[in-house]
Amino acid sequence: MPGIKSKLESFFGIEIKVLIAVIAIIVGTVGFIIIAGLVSRGSSDQFDLQILRSFRVPGKIARPIGPVWMFEVMRDVTSLGGPTVVFLIIIFVIGYFILQKQYSMLFLVLVAVIGGAVMDLELKEFFGRIRPQIIPTLMQEKSFAFPSGHSMMSAIVYLSLASLIARLQVRWRDKIYIIIVAVFLSFIIGISRIYLGVHYPTDVLGGWSLGLAWAALCWFAAWYISQKRSGGIISKSGNDLPGNGR
């Protein structure tokens, strides 16, 4: 892995983690714009309907697929992206950073979470998409549907925290494992929203896309600031290169 990493960095002229962050920002932003356009035009309605119905027993639209205990599992899973659990996680993380006196990390987490929450609320009001009415929902939700707040906030919170934890690891396989866990958590939370019938699939896809872009953008901003402070960013003229005699 170190050999591949160094070759990629040499080819692109940039750290591989920064390249990944930039790609995530672009893919997430473009993905959200495309999905939002489809939702606004109603072009995704047929797709949403087919996926929602695939999570229900044929001929019994009020009954979700799977064994009886699956509903309990999905209800528990969906709470991992809910405001209560997210709030508790953030409080614990803030407390940890205060104890460690890592105030820059504390600021990053606050910006990522608060900014993401405000963006989610504003976008819901802007699009004003009503929750699914074509199938009986298994939970009651009152806010608008697009984008999915659970999917978006789980991507922001878990990916942001995973990136911070991964920075403390030395081995690449440990870093990758941590990121995979964060992605998996966000994935199953989004699936649970569709399973419970409280969101259209495009709501979840939109939430994932925007959450990915926002988490990557916050990470990139933190990286840039840290590099700027340490003098690690090389200017075009090469005058800022450490060890140039200045």
Q: Is the torsion defined by CA of 107, 112, 113, 117 positive or negative? A: positive
Question: Residue 170: its pLDDT value, please?
Answer: 79
123 in Cβ contact with 148 (< 8 Å):
no
Spell out the domain ranges in the chain: 10-230
At 201-220, the pLDDT tens digits run 999 999 999 999 999 998 88
Comparing 26-30, 80-84, 190-194, 221-225, the range with the smallest average pLDDT is 221-225
At 129-173, the pLDDT tens digits run 999 988 888 788 888 999 999 999 999 999 988 887 887 777 888
**Residues 6 or more apart whose Cβ sits within 8 Å of residue 179:** 159, 162, 163, 166
The span from the CA of 124 to the CA of 116, in Å, is 12
Report CA-CA distances (Å) from 39 to 30, 125, 146, 195, 232.
14, 14, 9, 20, 43
Q: Which residues are catalytic?
A: 150, 199
Q: How confident is the model at residue 232 (pLDDT cuts 50, 70, 90)?
A: low
pLDDT at 97 over 50: yes
The span from the CA of 158 to the CA of 165, in Å, is 10
At 167-191, the pLDDT tens digits run 777 788 888 899 999 999 999 999 9
Global pTM value? 0.84
